[in-house]
A = this chain, B = another copy of it.
Amino acid sequence: MPERVKKFKEEREKLNKLILGRDNLDIKRFFGIDGSVYRDGALTARTKEMLGLTASLVLRCDDCIAYHLIQLKQLEVADKEFDEIMAVALVVGGSITIPHIRRAYQLWEELKG
């Protein structure tokens, strides 16, 4: 795992811990759903992570994109599959998504290690 990714995950964990430590029940429940919604069901976790990535791309959230890329790499998504997710997001979301797509390709390469 590249250094940049390790740091991203550590920062994420540290702040999640801070948030969940506050004991706000609604926030805790939301974080619970945010985990369970991507688990295998009628659709595979793999497909759901692809849905999450596409949503993150068109909503232009770099941290969310990074998170789903890491998941999809572990689930062994192929380059050609990755390209086609990028293409759908680009067409739906327009050129405004391009800076995020650039950073997604950059991270995807780094994740190949």
Residues of A within 8 A of B (CB): 12, 15-16, 18-19, 22, 24-27, 29-30, 32-34, 36-38, 41-43, 47-48, 50-52, 54-64, 78-81, 83-99, 101-103, 105-106, 109
Q: How many copies does the complex hold?
A: 6
- Max chain B CB contacts within 10 Å: which of A22, A26, A79, A83? A26
Secondary structure at the A interface, as helix, strand, loop or mixed, is helix
Bound complex: CA A39 to CA B57 (Å): 20
CB neighbours (8 Å) of A97 from chain B are 94
Q: Which 10 A-B pairs have the closest CB atoms?
A: A94-B94, A42-B80, A63-B99, A15-B102, A24-B83, A26-B87, A55-B92, A51-B54, A93-B94, A55-B58
